[in-house]
Amino acid sequence: MDFFFDILDKARRWMTYDAEVSFYYKHFPSLVENAEVNLRPMVRADIDRLFAIETSAYEFHWELETFRSCFKIGYHCWIAERARDVVGYGISTIGAGESHVLNVCVAPDYQGRGIGRMILNHLIQEATRFKADSMFLEVRPSNPKAIKLYRSMGFNEIGTRKGYYPARHGREDAIVMARMLG
């Protein structure tokens, strides 16, 4: 019975959500344009939207199943939302005193507005809250925007993983970056 009510509740929330968002977009576009970006924990219903952003932002993207697994396992999955529209996300693991950033991504139309920095900053705060003392991530050498963001947030290059990523011609190495927390 609980399951049935859960489904009904989700359907109700989605219908209300769609109606509200299209209403505001139509009648008050500038209000939506200037709305603040907030962070909240991911819920299962976000997964399809995340996947749509992922496929539009990366040439070599995660599969839908990867998002489902991250959610199921209980990784730290955060959503950046503006006027109730998902515009980005960050996913990390935290355990044994370490945190690993698995994904930080902003929808192409919203990039360059400080949202990536906001998401990463939140993942750092979460890792600190859960008593991690170091944080790691991998990045493609061909992704200067992300490298610049990570450097500016205190990450340093500590190594390379050979052939870590798929690439157009063969594989691309990953730069491993890390920073201390706390």
Assess 60 for contact with ligand COA (CB under 6 A): no
Is the distance from CB of 123 to CB of 146 less than 8 angstroms?
no
148 counts as binding ligand COA under rule CB under 6 A? yes
Among the listed residues 143, 164, 167, 176, the single contact to ligand COA using CB under 6 A: 143
Q: Is 145 in the site for ligand COA (CB under 6 A)?
A: yes
Binding mask 115-134 for ligand COA (x = CB under 6 A): xxx-----------------
- Give the nearer residue to ligand COA in terms of CB position, either 21 or 149: 149
Q: What are phi and psi of 43, to 5 degrees?
A: -120, 165
What gap in Å lies between CA 49 and CA 39, rounded to an integer? 15
Q: Which contacts of 59-68 are long-range, i.e. CB under 8 A and separated by 24 or more positions?
A: 59/168, 60/165, 60/166, 60/167, 62/103
Q: Which of 105, 135, 110 is nearest to 36 (CA)?
A: 110
Select from 113, 130, 165, 167 the one that contacts ligand COA (CB under 6 A): 113
- Strands in 64-155 per DSSP E: 76-82, 85-95, 98-106, 134-139
Enzyme catalytic residues: 138, 150
Does the protein bind ligand COA through residue 177 (CB under 6 A)?
no
Q: Does 166 interact with ligand COA (rule: CB under 6 A)?
A: no
Minimum CB distance to ligand COA, residue 63 (Å): 16
CB burial readout 42-80, b (16+ within 10 A) else e: beeebbebbbebbeeeeeeebeeeebeebbeeebbbbbb
Amino acid at 107: A
Residue with the CB atom nearest ligand COA in the bound state: 116
Of 42, 70, 106, 124, which lies in the binding site for ligand COA, with binding defined by CB under 6 A? 106
Residue from 37, 123, 146, 175 binding ligand COA (CB under 6 A): 146
Interface residue list for ligand COA (CB under 6 A)? 57-58, 104-106, 111-117, 139, 143-146, 148-149, 152
